[in-house]
Amino acid sequence: MFLQKTLKDKAVIRGVGLHKGIETSLSFCPAPANAGVHLVRTDLEGCPSVPVHVDYVRATALATTLGNERFNVSTVEHCLSTLAAFRIDNVYLELKGSEIPIGDGSAKVFMEEIRKVGTIEQREPRKYIYVTKPIYCGSEEKHAYVVPYNGLRLSCTIDFDHRQIGQQFVDIDINEQTFAKELASARTFGFVKDIEKMREMGLAMGASLDNAIALDDDKILNPEGLRFENEFVRHKAMDALGDLMTLGRPIMGHVVLYKAGHDILNQLVRKILDSPDSFQELELGGGLPQFESFDIPFSGRA
């Protein structure tokens, strides 16, 4: 928690992309201290790259897409959530293809491969965004905010008009253990009626019951059922953790989400970085500063 970390060795994940359905591979490669996290397209001439930062977010519909004028990479949030939970600060994400492999629709495959190679501390302090005042974006109907907290905590509420989902809530202090137990294996999900429309647009070509929870008008189609009773909201929380990586630095605060997708998370990240009077840049070791008292923007569970 005090020092930056990278991987001890390269970890490789292969599979298909969710939307294009094309074989792709991702390598997590060790990087030096203060390098940060970068996406590198090794299948393109010159191996162009972009840092994982909100300035390079190109789209937030269906998934988070990072890129520049030369390339885009979609569905980055699952692998980024694993980096956030395992406190990995410096890594090159070397990708062959325009999508991150979807695995089984969760972050499980990324977590397992990172655990196999292990992590190593580096001789530089970890620099945090330490939230000292509430930062809010959205509306009462759909919103996200972060308030001071000595750690990283996620509270997430979703509400779908479907008998198998409805309103669900999860509240988790994020660390390696809670991520592995509570979030990593929660799968993405979609509705059959939407998937059919998406495929007409050339999307969701790699989606199957092996990498997503599918729902028709009233039931879950996966024969094995759910991994958690509230798997849907757990997956949304995992997505949010990955999207927070676009801050460019780890955050300390309590992030509260209500019906917030990738678009709202993107707005929250931008609002945080545009609110320098509401956070401190902090290196741990000398104790945590005191924050002011505050009022929650909206009362209630979310």
Q: Where in the sequence numbering do the catalytic residues fall?
A: 262
Q: Give the whole-angstrom CA distance, residue 112 versus residue 233.
A: 22
Are 242 and 80 a contacting pair, CB within 8 Å?
yes
Q: Which helix (H) or strand (E) holds 189?
A: strand 189-191
Judging by beta carbons within 10 Å of its beta carbon (0-12, 13-18, 19+), is residue 290 exposed, middle or buried? exposed
CA distances, 193 to each of 97, 158, 218, 253 (Å): 28, 20, 12, 38
Q: Which helix (H) or strand (E) holds 110?
A: helix 108-117
